[in-house]
Amino acid sequence: MQDSFGRGITYLRLSVTELCNLRCRYCMPEEGVCKKRHEEMLTQEEMLQAVRAAASLGITKLRITGGEPLVKPNIVELCRGAAATEGIREVCLTTNGTLLPQLAVPLREAGVKRLNISLDTLDAEKYRRITRLGSLEQALAGIEAALDAGFEKIKLNTVLIGGFNDDEIPQLAELTRRWNLDLRFIELMPMLDSDEFGPEAFLPYTVVTEKLPQLVPAAADGGVAKLFRLPGAQGNVGLISPVSAHFCAECNRIRLTADGKLKPCLHSSAEFPIKGLDYEGMREQIKTAILAKPQWHGALDYSHHSQAKRNMNQIGG
Ligand code: SAM
Ligand code: SF4
């Protein structure tokens, strides 16, 4: 289905939980989330019904995200159900990777084709600092498990944070030589609780090309990243610039939060509830949300915070 600005909407990002086993400083408060009542959250059946309704309106690609999707009980069954939905051609999943040693093979067998795994640093102490709880060793073990499980594509997501990991840009990019995967640097977005980051943390994607002059442009893959490659590398280095050069004109996605709110735009406060609706009701509400998709997300930078009124773990990054 097309939105009011002629953009074809083919991509649904489904957040299956707000909970997480980490507490990344740019994503979640230290104390975690105030756990909502079970009745407020979508059930697994409602999530799959929403996927069916979305597919009937032209959604072909689904990304399962969170919070951390792998902490959700029955995540494998949910992925299997989504992958079996008529019209859904591709189920992808975004994860911090720490539970992949146990779950990579079952997820692949359930029909998940592609994985995005978050990794902001290769330094164990810095990993612990940015995630507040995590272990780099566990995250790297998750990446290795994913590589062994035979996914069609694996991408690492690195949030670029000035004064934290800009000194590691070359080492992180080198992972595309060591492993058959892409690594994407993503500009830090000023979400609800990003106050601990000063202006120096918000780096434009161009710092990557400045630090890696040997990068050569690579063929586009239809995604939002500008793609480059290190000579001799197995995968691409991607640059994603939601802040310094937004890609709203090509945006093809809508989002569904774990508490059942359709979000036509990541950075807008507009939300359309679907909790408790039947199939037809969800279908109508998805149409309404698509038609309400704004032309662009409005000013977004250190002094203009996202209008989303939620942190990323409560939207689904
Ligand atoms: N827990 C999973 C993970 O970490 O990959 C999936 C959910 S997480 C919210 C999805 C992505 O959003 C991660 O790659 C994370 O780094 C990114 N993210 C969260 N907050 C962000 C922010 N303020 N700016 C840029 N990216 C952010
Ligand atoms: Fe959890 Fe992912 Fe947010 Fe980190 S970025 S706190 S891993 S949801």
Q: Where are the domains of the chain?
A: 11-314
Residue 309 CA to residue 306 CA, distance in Å, equals: 7
Nearest atom of ligand 2 to the alpha carbon of 67: 8
Ligand 2 test: best mutation among 33, 131, 136, 138, most atoms within 8 Å of CB? 131
Question: Tens digits of per-residue pLDDT, 75-126?
Answer: 999 999 999 999 999 999 999 999 999 999 999 999 999 999 999 999 999 9
**What is the model's pLDDT at position 246?**
76
| 242 φ, ψ (degrees, to nearest 5) | -60, -25
Ligand 2 test: best mutation among 17, 70, 96, 257, most atoms within 8 Å of CB? 96
CA of 280 to the centre of ligand 1 (A): 32
Closest-approaching ligand to the CA atom of 316: 1
* Confidence band, pLDDT 50/70/90 cuts, at residue 224: confident
CATH topology classification for 11-314: TIM Barrel (3.20.20)
Sign, Cα dihedral of 228, 117, 274, 44: positive
Mean pLDDT of 237-256: 88
Mean pLDDT of 237-242: 92
**What is the model's pLDDT at position 63?**
98
Percent of the chain with pLDDT over 70: 94
Question: Tens digits of per-residue pLDDT, 122-175?
Answer: 999 999 999 999 999 999 999 999 999 999 999 999 999 999 999 999 999 999
Rounded (5°) CA angle 81-82-83: 95
**What is the model's pLDDT at position 22?**
96
* Confidence band, pLDDT 50/70/90 cuts, at residue 223: confident
